[in-house]
Structure 1
Amino acid sequence: MEFIDLKAQYRAQQDEIDSRIRAVLDHGRFIMGPEVAELEEKLATYTGARHCVTVASGTEALLIALMAAGVRPGDEVITTPFSFVATAEVIVLVGAKPVFVDIEPDTCNIDVSLIEAKITPRTRAIIPVSLYGQMSDMDEINEIAARHNLVVIEDAAQSFGATYRGKRSGNASTIGCTSFFPSKPLGCYGDGGAIFTSDDALAKAMREIRVHGQEKRYYHTRVGVGGRMDTLQCAIVLGKLPRLEWEVERRIALGTMYQDLLASVDGLVPMVVRSDRTSVHGQFTVRADAGLRDTFLQRLSEAKIPYAIHYPTPIDQQPAYREFASPEGCAASTAAAGAVFSLPMSPDLSEADLDKVIRALKGN
């Protein structure tokens, strides 16, 4: 059993993916080839956003979004400490200060009730993370942002395909950023990412920033980066798109099956999925009761079932980011880091695979 079965996924789509790759090799436009614009159009249509800007990675998407939004040295950006480090990394890279807000214990998403108390005159943006494939309380976050004239940038690296009150992830705030890292719900075969917005001015800025701030060839109107997504990677994502709806539905169904089966495992609970949204389970993550995680991980190891811990150390406790930790700390994030672990999840996982996982967790 694979933690994420990319080989089975490729076999199911091999003809379309291979055909797309061959087309790029034939026309030879490896940078900004026609597949880039085609993918951007299709992804914008899928999310409902007016613009999609493909970029080199999910991290680059967040960085370019902050740059386009005008976040500068001395500004503050509110986010969660319970995420992959890239969420805070990009804030520091633009010279701003990450301000950490703790999480909800049952979803591990940012606790919206704690955000407003962290806003200061220097606050410029909020980055909620759609962790494990489920979006945060986006309406409430957008309302807070509107009251304080802030930009909301959804870190949707794990949630492409998820919905929240009828809106798709990536199109539930001013800016949405996603990743096409191979293990994501929609992945390429290397690094890739995309930014979504319906703001024309932001989209123009993002397109210029991703090509070194270039408005036209060798004419640079702003500071930028080398942030383009390769044509080949765009072609691979295009090859995967026809199966995306089935994969999203399958992920949701597998998540429901997992949740039902886990009810019989003492000392273990899955992340709660709120009734007004869906989760695509970019990671299927569970939480062990105090002191029991090592027991469950040992059982999985003995059964040769792969697992992962997302995330073992919150960002505010990482050596490079401790200077940004709040004096009161983030107790829920610290507790989650010591209790959560992720089980195998991919659309080609079988019901028999799920049964094997549950038996292992029970020690059978």
Structure 2
Amino acid sequence: MTTYVWDYLPEYEKERDDLLNAVDTVFSSGRLVLGESVRGFEEEFAAYHGVRYATGVDNGTNALKLGLEALGVGPGDEVITVSNTAAPTVVAISGTGATPVFVDVRDEDFLMDTAQVAAAITPRTKALLPVHLYGQCVDMAPLRRLAEEHGLRILEDCAQAHGARHHGQVAGAMGDVAAFSFYPTKVLGAYGDGGAVITSDETVDANLRRLRYYGMEKTYYVVRMPGHNARLDEVQAEILRRKLRRLDSYVAGRRAVARRYAEALGDLSGPGGLRLPSPAPGNDHVYYVYVVRHPRRDEIIERLKSYGISLNISYPWPVHTMTGFAHLGYGVGALPVTEKLAGEIFSLPMYPTLPEDVQDKVIVALREVLESFR
């Protein structure tokens, strides 16, 4: 049997009764769209993050796009972000009509190099979009200082950082707006698509609620602003309500797997060897993915296939090198750290219900491959 980086079936077996009850709760409610489950999840998700408002939407990409639009980002504006991210981060910026502007990431933790942001700011810059990557947070203090100095807004991309903290502050509570994805693989994942945007700004929240519902307000027929059909599904909302109560236990499970990997593989790390992830200063890592690094990455992945292990790369193609973003004018060499990482990083299996025998299988196989290089 092939081992993959993620599998939802062990979780489903463990939580099956509650998940099916969530579906029955919605089907028995008499309200299938924007009902009690969406409202309840929004209130509980906002409370978890210590903010005033949450707006459920249909996916993480639209969470980013609507979050930017609610901040007033549009054609002619620039948004500063990173290229070492999932393409939806940049697709969302482009979708508003704004122009993505890239800065590089740090070699030690792959997060936005905030020291490069000031030089990227122009008169057209409207917002900063840090990506809390792989399960830990960008250093937000420098970004907040720059935002205040230049009159910019901050949208946190929290798709990979549910429950992560930075100096005690939960991811999503450090900017003006934060966007979340509930794609099934996430730390807090639905059983289908879903997303949310959180804020403590009443005006921004009002904009978000209009934007997700055609631009309408309260009544179906009156459009107040150009909008979208981007509502969170009632069934997914009810599932997420149940799972939100278990979010901290999911994080604890991921951290336990990460500790086991670190203990079993730590002696193989070092210059030119396997580099394991570790929390940046002030961060509480939630290990959405367990991203390691090795200069012979491609050979390792290929050889592990013979052990029945199939691994992912997050991400093999930096966004700025994709043909769909060639018009932005970033050639190869523009972001050297990002480009180097793209050839070296890969992800080990990581989810809270990952069985120990599967962890052992990965550890033993990876050790054998790495030791053969010596």
TM bucket, shorter chain: over 0.9
TM-score scaled by structure 2? Answer: 0.94
Instruction: Measure the CA separation in 2 of the matches of 1:177 and 1:264.
Output: 38
Match of residue 110 from structure 1: 112
Which deviations, in whole Å up to 9, do the C-alpha atoms of 1:283-318 show, x marking residues without a partner?
Answer: 1111112xx112211232111122101111101000
Q: Aligned to 1:72, what secondary structure does the other structure show?
A: coil
Instruction: Measure the CA separation in 2 of the matches of 1:357 and 1:325.
Output: 40
What is the percentage of aligned positions where both structures have the same residue? 36
Match of residue 343 from structure 1: 348
Match of residue 359 from structure 1: 364
Instruction: Measure the CA separation in 2 of the matches of 1:28 and 1:144.
Output: 49
Residue 271 in 1 paired to residue 274 in 2?
no
CA RMSD of aligned residues (A): 1.4
CA-CA distance at 1:54 after TM superposition: 0.6
Q: 1:192 aligns with which of 179, 191, 194?
A: 194
Instruction: Measure the CA separation in 1 of the matches of 2:195 and 2:281.
Output: 28
Compare 3-12 and 146-155 and name the one that shifted more: 3-12
Match of residue 64 from structure 1: 66
Q: Aligned to 1:53, what secondary structure does the other structure show?
A: strand
CA-CA distance at 1:250 after TM superposition: 1.6
CA-CA distance at 1:2 after TM superposition: 4.0
Instruction: Measure the CA separation in 1 of the matches of 2:340 and 2:128.
Output: 23
Instruction: Measure the CA separation in 2 of the matches of 1:99 and 1:343.
Output: 30
Compare 241-250 and 39-48 and name the one that shifted more: 241-250
Q: 1:138 to 1:304 in 2, by over 3 A?
A: same
CA-CA distance at 1:249 after TM superposition: 1.3
CA-CA distance at 1:85 after TM superposition: 0.7
Q: Aligned to 1:223, what secondary structure does the other structure show?
A: coil
Instruction: Measure the CA separation in 2 of the matches of 1:151 and 1:184.
Output: 26
Match of residue 185 from structure 2: 183
Report matched runs for 1:1-364 at 5 Å: 1-217=3-219, 218-266=221-269, 267-289=273-295, 292-326=296-330, 329-363=334-368
Asked if the contact 1:306/1:343 (under 8 Å) is kept, the reply is: no
Asked if the contact 1:287/1:339 (under 8 Å) is kept, the reply is: yes
Instruction: Measure the CA separation in 2 of the matches of 1:130 and 1:142.
Output: 15
Asked if the contact 1:299/1:361 (under 8 Å) is kept, the reply is: no
Gaps of 5+ in 1: none
Instruction: Measure the CA separation in 2 of the matches of 1:264 and 1:297.
Output: 20
Compare 74-83 and 230-239 and name the one that shifted more: 230-239
Instruction: Measure the CA separation in 2 of the matches of 1:325 and 1:286.
Output: 30
Q: Aligned to 1:77, what secondary structure does the other structure show?
A: strand
CA-CA distance at 1:351 after TM superposition: 3.5
Gaps of 5+ in 2: 370-374
Q: Aligned to 1:176, what secondary structure does the other structure show?
A: strand
Asked if the contact 2:118/2:146 (under 8 Å) is kept, the reply is: yes
Which deviations, in whole Å up to 9, do the C-alpha atoms of 1:73-121 show, x marking residues without a partner?
Answer: 1110000011111111111111111000000112111100000000000
Compare 157-166 and 246-255 and name the one that shifted more: 246-255
Asked if the contact 2:4/2:311 (under 8 Å) is kept, the reply is: no
Which deviations, in whole Å up to 9, do the C-alpha atoms of 1:142-162 show, x marking residues without a partner?
Answer: 111111111110111011111
